[in-house]
A and B are shown apart, each in its own frame.
Chain A
């Protein structure tokens, strides 16, 4: 399967624990995006990364949230000290990268985070 792979599909954490969400982009894609969907809402942009670079993190909450896309391995979205309001579906998307104007994002199936 050459699509965007996210794991885990479901993640349950107690308040105060850490959540780590992983995303492997489509083969040949060098740009990764993280979006969050709260219940009954649309997708909200969080962060846009290239390998080893954060391009735009304007949608990330200022505290507890961080993202990385290392040279080797998947992109990681990390939420520290989770609270109930973090419960949502987190979607990762990828695109081919620079020089390719107007290309759609390809999404994974998401990680559904539940904070108890």
Chain B
């Protein structure tokens, strides 16, 4: 039951340009969404979150957009830097349960 999907396994972007990572979900009860960044041999690191009462949340170079009607969220990184190269996971949870469902990840490569 893949409730959270990241359909692009990889993305390559030139340094300085925008990176857009996409995520779709099927459960309309999800109301809290997270993006994590993961380097090899390390645990996922929390990046940014958004609750379903908002459609946008911004933190520095990172912005998350939520389209509830389309059950879609995206992460924008502007400008992209080589250090952003990592695997990015989106995750979603329902209510106050803190049980998160993760997508399969998108590997971002930012070329210098």
Question: For this complex, into which size category does the number of interface residues on chain A fall?
Answer: 20 to 34
The distance in angstroms between the C-alpha atoms of A31 and B100, with both chains bound, is 13
Contacts of A101 in B (CB 8 A): 96
Give a binary string over A7-30; 1 marks a CB under 8 Å from any B CB, 0 the rest: 000000000000000000000000
- Whether A56 is near chain B, meaning CB under 8 Å from some CB there, is yes
The distance in angstroms between the C-alpha atoms of A44 and B3, with both chains bound, is 11
Contacts of B103 in A (CB 8 A): 42
Say which residue of A31, A41, A109, A112 sits within 8 Å of B98 (CB atoms).
Answer: A31
Given A41-B104, A43-B89, A104-B49, A95 contacting B43 (CB threshold 8 A): no
The distance in angstroms between the C-alpha atoms of A44 and B102, with both chains bound, is 7
Of chain B, the residue at the smallest CB distance from A108 is B43
Give a binary string over A83-116; 1 marks a CB under 8 Å from any B CB, 0 the rest: 0000000010101000001111111111010000
Of chain A, the residue at the smallest CB distance from B5 is A42
Q: Shortest Cβ distance from B79 into chain A, in angstroms?
A: 25
Given A41-B104, A42-B89, A110-B43, A48 contacting B99 (CB threshold 8 A): yes
List CB contacts (< 8 Å) of B77-112 with chain A: 89, 91, 96-105
Contacts of A33 in B (CB 8 A): 98-100
* Majority SS at the chain A contact face: strand
Q: Shortest Cβ distance from B73 into chain A, in angstroms?
A: 15
Q: Are the CB atoms of A91 and B99 closer together than 8 Å?
A: no
Contacts of B102 in A (CB 8 A): 35, 42-45
Q: Shortest Cβ distance from A34 into chain B, in angstroms?
A: 11
The distance in angstroms between the C-alpha atoms of A33 and B101, with both chains bound, is 12
Contacts of B4 in A (CB 8 A): 42
Of chain A, the residue at the smallest CB distance from B98 is A95
Q: Are the CB atoms of B104 and A56 closer together than 8 Å?
A: no
Q: Are the CB atoms of B43 and A91 closer together than 8 Å?
A: yes
The distance in angstroms between the C-alpha atoms of A39 and B99, with both chains bound, is 22
Of chain A, the residue at the smallest CB distance from B100 is A105
Say which residue of A31, A43, A56, A105 sits within 8 Å of B46 (CB atoms).
Answer: A105
List CB contacts (< 8 Å) of B1-32 with chain A: 4, 6, 32
For the A-B complex with A40-B104, A101-B96 known, give 4 more contacts whose Cβ atoms are closer than 8 Å: A33-B100, A42-B102, A105-B46, A109-B41
